[in-house]
Amino acid sequence: MSWRDWFKQPTKVVVQYKLVEVKAPRTPLRWDTSTKEAVSTLQSHPGFLALCERLALQRARLETQLSHDVHKDLREVDMLQAGIYWCSWLQEQIEKATVKGSTKTFDAMEDELAAFREIDSSIERVCEVPKV
């Protein structure tokens, strides 16, 4: 059998699938307004900020290791690239969820003035001085 005959023979490809059972979460994940507000407050939590800094540091460490170290095989390079990708993806998802810089701010003077006007309008005046 020559090499040409070997290439002409039909090849049989067998595809095997594996089923993976995933446990359903106890409560369905709903992103209603209260959940979005709770997640957006995380951007000012010191523990959350420390975890975000650790994630950024880990990504930088993987990039440095990928670019400066000698790798024993391509598998190690693939793992480093995958780690960089997933760190970047996670950081992007966190930034989308916390929406940095778009929290609502209120002017304290306007709130106090509105409350004062509401209280003032509910006061019943017994004797009004006529305006001249």
In this predicted model, what pLDDT tens digit does every residue of 33-85 receive, in sequence order?
Answer: 888 888 888 888 899 999 999 999 999 999 999 999 898 899 999 999 999 99
pLDDT in tens, 75-109: 999 999 999 999 999 999 998 888 755 555 666 78
Indicate the Cα dihedral angle 39, 45, 50, 53, nearest 10°.
Answer: 60
Query: How far apart, in whole angstroms, are the C-alpha atoms of residue 83 and residue 85?
Result: 5
Extents of the domains making up the chain: 56-98
67 contacts 81 by C-beta, under 8 angstroms: no
CA distances from 14 to 6, 9, 11, 25, 105 (A): 19, 16, 10, 34, 61
